[in-house]
Amino acid sequence: MELIPAIDLIDGKCVRLVQGDYARQTTYSDNPLETAKRFEGAGLRRLHLVDLDGARLGKLVNLKVLEDIAAQTMMQVDFSGGIRADADLQKVFDAGAAWACIGSLAYSDPQQTTTWLERYGGDRLIIGADVKDERICIHGWQKETTMTVFELVEQYAGKIQYLMCTDISRDGMLDGPGLELYKSLRERFPKLQLIASGGVGSMEDVERLQLLGLLGVVVGKAIYEGRIVLC
């Protein structure tokens, strides 16, 4: 299982939110490129880059950060936030992203999402599910829907390879991931490549997720707060 560090962007800065609340924001660095280089120097190969401004506003905002990291590091980047149209997705790939993570649009426009999956392939698109009490949340976690994460996955059965599932209720809390949620997803969709996100506070949490057979785990605050120390 791969440990994937996260950089969440607001106004071009590295931040973390607590339970998706934009009013509970901590800024950890004014220089996301240097942060990415530090991750790379520690031997990490992949980065989860989130345009929180873009997710909330419904348009790409921090694309320049992606361009800089892709050009000046060797890290493979998956990018999410603000991807709404064909032109947005093409810009993300042109800027150097290895994967694009489709969140809100996967819920609101399954036809467009399916078209992209057919055009680019399931190996380049990650479906992002931001979840609270198993229900999908959209627009930067600001709106809760009635659709469950299981219903979302079933909607794209046979088309997707990767699911990144963020447990919003645990995100930024450092009190452990929602193991039961990921266990249920593994049992119902055994062929799905699952990436967990939210709540990781220690290497013990990472090890518990590894036992579930996940592809990867996204870690943010635990690294920034020194709970997980990179070599």
Catalytic machinery residues: 8, 130
Both tokens assigned to 195: 């990436």
Q: Give the H or E element holding residue 143.
A: strand 143-148
Is residue 152 within 8 Å of 127, Cβ to Cβ? yes
Is residue 7 within 8 Å of 32, Cβ to Cβ? yes
Could you identify the residue written with the tokens 């980065």? Answer: 47
Q: Residue 153: which of 99, 177, 117 has the closest Cα?
A: 117
The residues, any chain, with a CB within 8 Å of residue 124's CB and separated by 6 or more, are 93, 98, 99, 100
Q: Give the H or E element holding residue 38.
A: helix 32-41
